[in-house]
Amino acid sequence: MTFNRSPRRRQLMLGGLGAAALAAVPARAFAADYPERPITFICPWPAGGTADRSMRAICQIAARELGQPIALENRAGASGMIGTKALASAKPDGYTIGQIPISVTRFAQIGTVQVDPLKDLSYLARTSGQTFGIAVPASSPFKSLRDMLAQAKAKPGVISYAHAGVGGATHVGMEQFAQAAGVKFNAIAYKGGSAALQDVLGEQVDMLADSSSWAPHVESGKLRLLATWGEARTPRFKDTPTLKELGFDVVVEAPNGIGAPRGLPPAVEKKLRDAFRVAVNSEEFKKVADSIDAPVMYQDGPDYKKYVEAVYRQETDLIRRLNLKELMEKG
């Protein structure tokens, strides 16, 4: 017996089969054409700073690799945590990515940002570090770090230093150094490194603890650089010793990295990792990084994630040793 199916029934059956097949297609198949439109990059720092400059350079190179523009959007505030929170809260489709400040491992544990860096973010690439240092006005009586420490030991809590915000890298780095050296400083917090720099240039504060905002002023002779905080001396200031070589086990480089919200489709994540691998390792980016004293410290996504996990554990101990929660409450 022959059954004649009506065109309407055949259409319904084909439609049902199509829907079932579509539902079975893995998510990675939908990422085959990614990206199909411009990508937003959240930079959690103000425009014009060293982090902003380095991220713009990387994004320009990665955009060429991806075949779509990457539009940088500055969402500054709260020591980088406003932009980090916005990144973690975005849709995980690959069209919102951004810079991840390593300090999120600290602020998350202190409770000042509702982001869990171990669960809420995807890690694409570690990019470059920063050159931190201690600088004083040219007229300062401190000709070396040893000079300054001798005075600090003689007069605990008298020598002042300006930093870019309570709980940030410059504040915590100086407190680590003070603890290692057995001294106590008078820490003065500012809303960013620029204001801190101006007061040190104006000789309102004894010392500046900051990333390389001091560099042009050291070169012009307005400031004197006492020490840098990296693993090795910075090429532009090769005559200045590191804290480590002076006998203090303090290394602060606070490397920048690029990430996305948790839950990226694997194929999208791979495309982004590949693009930023090319960008970070390019000569074009290295020139920009060298110009702002930002050592290239590339790691691919999986290794970068392991690095963040290790820093998170270190921060747990640091928060306890420096009593950071109490310091944050005091402001």
**Which of residues 6 and 255 earns the better pLDDT score?**
255
Q: Convert the pLDDT of each residue in 278-318 to its tens digit.
A: 999 999 999 999 988 899 999 999 999 999 999 999 999 98
How many Cβ atoms are within 10 Å of 120's Cβ, its own excluded? 19
Domains 38-129+254-330 and 133-237 share a fold: yes
Q: Which helix (H) or strand (E) holds 140?
A: none
Q: Which CATH architecture has domain 133-237?
A: 3-Layer(aba) Sandwich (3.40)
- CA–CA distance, 76 with 34 (Å, rounded to integer): 28
pTM more than 0.85 = no
For helices 266-280 and 50-66, give the axis angle rounded to 10 degrees.
120
- CA–CA distance, 169 with 288 (Å, rounded to integer): 22
Longest dimension (CA), the chain: 108
Three-state secondary structure readout of 27-56: HHHHCCCCCCCCEEEEECCCCCCHHHHHHH
- Yes or no: say if 99 and 51 are a contact pair by the CB < 8 Å rule: yes
- Yes or no: say if 34 and 271 are a contact pair by the CB < 8 Å rule: yes
Domain boundaries, the chain: 38-129+254-330, 133-237
Residue 67: how many CA atoms within 13 Å on its side-chain side? Answer: 5
Amino acid at 39: I
Topology adopted by domain 38-129+254-330: D-Maltodextrin-Binding Protein; domain 2 (3.40.190)
Q: What is the pLDDT of residue 20?
A: 43
- Picking from 146, 143, 110, 118, the residue whose alpha carbon sits closest to that of residue 225 is 143
Share of the chain above pLDDT 90, in %: 73
Mean pLDDT on 45-66: 91
- CA–CA distance, 24 with 262 (Å, rounded to integer): 23
Q: Convert the pLDDT of each residue in 59-109 to its tens digit.
A: 999 999 999 999 999 998 888 899 999 999 999 999 999 999 999 999 999
- CA–CA distance, 222 with 251 (Å, rounded to integer): 26
For helices 283-291 and 50-66, give the axis angle rounded to 10 degrees.
170
**Which of residues 1 and 187 earns the better pLDDT score?**
187
Mean pLDDT on 171-198: 92
